[in-house]
Amino acid sequence: MGDNNSSIHNSAVLEAATPTPTLDGSDVEATPPGTAASSIMAERDKLAVRLPMLHITNALIDMLADLTTLLSDMASISSSLFEHVEENGRTYHKYKEGKYYLPNDEQEQNRLDMQHQLCKISLHGRLHLAPLKEANLKHALDFGTGTGIWAIEFAEQYPNCKVLGSDLSPIQPEFVPENCTFEVDDIDDEWIYPQPFSYIHSRLMVFCLRSPISTIRKAYHSLSPGGWLEMQDSCAPLMSIDDSISGTALEKCYDKVTEAATKIGIDCTAAKHYRSMMEEVGFVDVQEVRVEWPIGGWAKSSYHKLIGKWFRADLETGVEAVALGLFTRVLGMKREEVEAFLGEVKRDMDSKDVHAYQTFYVVFGRKPE
């Protein structure tokens, strides 16, 4: 800003040294030596008209300086939205740096798109379970949209609904349906939207929600009467059908994730409380659906076997995505230490003797008419 101020002051000097227009459009020039008294008086009268103009000009300069500062700040913020922070060989969001502990690089984006398929398989190909009526869908919000894949498919399924996806990372594609847009936003900030939503959706946001009930309350106030909120999330702890995870590196990994998350104010078991939270806030017709996600293909049913294979593929890079930031930043572990530990975890995930699973919750409720 030092250069900008200098430029503004120089401009003011130049204006003072050149003829200044008066209100009637004439110029005021310096009085040459020997001018008659009447001429001096006439010039003094003109100067009296000129002085307010100088006052206005100085005020304008101050206002322009403030505007320049504002535009510079806005440009800086806008630039930071598209920047990334590199750490331990991965990249993370720059906007609100450090708030979200998972990376946003291409490897993570590929995992998120694969995770999208896992969720759809879990819901038998559906994007949502809330009983939406297409005729009532005007505006929809997908907070924590990630790569935007859910929002894009929802916009394609409901072409008359305007879909907004928000996230801390601007990693969404450029070419999307006309009724789909994205913005960089933090759900912990105040929710300010020009219109209420018919449907609000979130998925796998457990590591983002430090106060789930506050987020649910914001969603409630941002919905139109009769609108639906749907939250899909995984839930700790890791379980097994036969206690086969006891003492394994896999169990220890989940315990460490829960420990680190708790230290930064995140409850990894929050999903099992979504139903009661929604009811407390005022939602009605609240329903909860649970789906077991086996790790690997050990389950007997074809449905759970398919889910298990997709979940295992998701965890191939997902376990590092979750653990690396949390374990190094929060638990103080070294990168090499984390990577060696995760090698043991993956061996447990591939063991036919380990029958582990995690529960996936889908909870949806309606705002009363």
Residue 61: what pLDDT?
65
Distance separating alpha carbons of residues 112 and 204, to the nearest angstrom:
10
Distance separating alpha carbons of residues 153 and 22, to the nearest angstrom:
62
pLDDT digits (tens, 9 = 90+) for 249-289: 999 999 999 999 999 999 999 999 999 999 999 999 999 99
Confidence category of residue 326, pLDDT binned at 50, 70, 90: very high
Question: Which tokens in the block code for residue 202?
Answer: 């979130």
Question: Which tokens in the block code for residue 2?
Answer: 């030092």
> CA of 144: how far to CAs of 100, 206, 222, 301, in Å?
11, 10, 16, 32
Residues 6+ apart with CB under 8 A from 269: 235, 236, 237
Confidence category of residue 19, pLDDT binned at 50, 70, 90: very low
The owner of tokens 């969720």 is: 119
Choosing among 3.40.50.10800, 3.40.50.150, 3.50.50.60, 2.102.10.10, the CATH entry for 88-366 is 3.40.50.150
pLDDT at residue 12 is higher than 50: no
pLDDT (average), residues 190-198: 96
Domain borders along the chain are: 2-80, 88-366
> CA of 140: how far to CAs of 217, 221, 302, in Å?
17, 14, 34
Binning the chain into helix, strand and coil, the percentages to the nearest 5 are 45, 20, 35
pLDDT digits (tens, 9 = 90+) for 20-63: 333 333 443 443 444 444 554 555 455 444 444 445 566 666 67
Give CB contacts under 8 A, 24+ apart, made by 154-162: 154/127, 154/128, 154/201, 155/179, 155/180, 157/127, 158/132, 158/134, 160/134, 161/134, 161/137, 161/198, 161/199, 162/138
pLDDT digits (tens, 9 = 90+) for 293-306: 999 999 999 999 99
Question: Which tokens in the block code for residue 356?
Answer: 């582990």
Residues 6+ apart with CB under 8 A from 284: 365, 366, 367, 368
pLDDT digits (tens, 9 = 90+) for 142-169: 999 999 999 999 999 999 999 999 998 8
Give the amino acid at 121. Answer: I
* 266: exposed, middle or buried (Cβ count in 10 Å: 0-12, 13-18, 19+): buried
Q: What is the dihedral of CA 165, 171, 172, 173, to 10 degrees?
A: 170
